[in-house]
Structure 1
């Protein structure tokens, strides 16, 4: 293992992720420190078996506390120079960590980086915008052809200087799920730039493949709605609730809502989430 890789610790959050986590762990260079934070999965026995390898530690939460708070728990006590928050359904190329560290060394003014993303078919993916930023700060469509500054980073593989992460207080613990990476990006921008490290490659499988479950669709939509309004208000995006409500109501009243249980759960869950956030209610939507 190159000495440079002792400079980074991988932190990943698992929630019934044993089916994909093994491939992610296998993609890490031997001995890379990795902290797995399990959010009360039903497949914990399988997860324990996967975590039984050098350099890997497992934190078992008694309840699902959300993505950002679990990331914070995994990062607590880590002493390496860098943190890589990595989704369990992502995989590194053999030189990804070396390339990320090289980019950080070459750009000391930058505090956090995204690698270049691709899906399992080799198609590129790039996060060029978020609704917390004015359109004037959005990037053009398509993956940039060279390293460059970015307005916001994707949480699928979030490489950050530990000192900067700690200086801004880590992920906002009020956000259970969704927009936590956007919020962190905007706070980190007060300390330095965000950059693309194009030579570092991460393959991200992403969700999909299973039949829609109304309970899961409603759960995700509630948190998506709540987090969208909460983050918008936090970062001074005026009129976010009214604009979101105007778009959400027609979808909630469309014919498909009444004939599809997953669509109904998603659309009404979203409406409840944005309204609860507007009323300053805490992020206590239904837990799975």
Structure 2
């Protein structure tokens, strides 16, 4: 056991797994390879793949790994909240199980947090395997008017167009795939709103952080590989349901347009009509990904 990590860590990394697949092993391995004093709180949301348990067995002598087992899928935000309640560090890093963190990126994020004492949330530019940034890394509040402009391709919408910044900039919202927060800010905000199950809870947290007087920053010079949902690909309709449910909750909480009953009714119909229209394509893509049955020798 490495005594260097028996003292209070600088950062508590919280990873939530839910049948996240083999990428979870790599994610954990990358975090544990960092030289920054840290602890990794691995919160398992009732996975059936056995990978969190296998990671625990393989690292049974590693004091920095702290597994937390939920015996059901509580949702992303509730699981992070339970992980944060176990954290010992003054800094939290919320990391998706398909995000690949490295030591240099972690150190840069911690330096930015130190340089901006009013920061409540710091995100990074999450990229796909081709290095293309996810536009969700740098967003604005998804007001109805902005969402309509995005849909129609007119003016400034929810995603901020143009080149992704190459330096730190203030933002309205960053991706929940990677978030660094002072623990005091997380606790002041009472963590994630647990009424969201999956999706939009990051938008909610960023909005509440700004409303509470904190700043939200995007570390434009930090690029992190994000595999885009290992567990989500196997349950596209389930994920889509909760994404649309989250969109509706955010609208009801924060958009002034929700005060108009007629507008609210139209938005409700639009959200769920969009959900229903997406189901056939999601099922078709799922069927195409399934392996073909083995040929008979007969």
Which residue of the other structure, out of 32, 38, 41, is the alignment partner of 2:44? 38
The range that moved more, 115-124 or 242-251, is 242-251
* 2:25 partner SS: helix
Evaluate the alpha carbon distance shift between residue 222 and residue 21 of structure 1 in structure 2; reply closer, same or farther with a 3 A threshold: same
Which residue of the other structure, out of 179, 189, 210, is the alignment partner of 1:189? 210
CA contact (8 A) 2:81 2:191 kept: yes
Once residues 80 and 261 of structure 1 are traced to their aligned partners in structure 2, the CA distance between those partners, rounded to angstroms, is: 40
Once residues 64 and 80 of structure 1 are traced to their aligned partners in structure 2, the CA distance between those partners, rounded to angstroms, is: 26
Evaluate the alpha carbon distance shift between residue 203 and residue 242 of structure 1 in structure 2; reply closer, same or farther with a 3 A threshold: same
Match of 2:142 in 1: 132
Match of 2:171 in 1: 150
Residues 1:167 and 2:188 are matched in the alignment: yes
Residues 1:22 and 2:22 are matched in the alignment: no
Once residues 139 and 167 of structure 2 are traced to their aligned partners in structure 1, the CA distance between those partners, rounded to angstroms, is: 18
Evaluate the alpha carbon distance shift between residue 250 and residue 231 of structure 1 in structure 2; reply closer, same or farther with a 3 A threshold: closer
* 1:245 partner SS: helix
CA contact (8 A) 2:21 2:230 kept: no
Once residues 182 and 81 of structure 2 are traced to their aligned partners in structure 1, the CA distance between those partners, rounded to angstroms, is: 14
Show the 5 A alignment for 1:55-74: 55-74=64-83
Match of 1:285 in 2: none
Match of 2:229 in 1: 207
CA RMSD of superposed structures (Å): 3.0
Show the 5 A alignment for 1:1-288: 6-28=9-31, 29-30=34-35, 32-44=38-50, 46-51=51-56, 52=59, 53-127=62-136, 128-130=138-140, 132-133=142-143, 135=146, 138=158, 139-190=160-211, 191-207=213-229, 216-236=235-255, 237-238=257-258, 239-243=263-267, 245-246=269-270, 249=273, 252=276, 257=280, 262=283
CA positional deviation for 1:93: 2.5
How many residue pairs were aligned?
256
* 2:22 partner SS: helix
Once residues 172 and 83 of structure 1 are traced to their aligned partners in structure 2, the CA distance between those partners, rounded to angstroms, is: 17
* 1:72 partner SS: helix
Show structure 1 runs of 5+ residues with no match: 266-288
CA positional deviation for 1:261: 7.8
Once residues 132 and 198 of structure 1 are traced to their aligned partners in structure 2, the CA distance between those partners, rounded to angstroms, is: 21
Show structure 2 runs of 5+ residues with no match: 147-155, 287-298
1:160-203 CA distance string (max 9 Å, x none): 11101110110001111110000001001122111112333311
CA positional deviation for 1:240: 4.6
Once residues 277 and 221 of structure 2 are traced to their aligned partners in structure 1, the CA distance between those partners, rounded to angstroms, is: 46
Once residues 251 and 222 of structure 1 are traced to their aligned partners in structure 2, the CA distance between those partners, rounded to angstroms, is: 7
CA contact (8 A) 1:229 1:240 kept: no
* 1:6 partner SS: coil
Query: TM (normalized to structure 1)?
Result: 0.78
Query: TM (normalized to structure 2)?
Result: 0.76
* 1:95 partner SS: helix
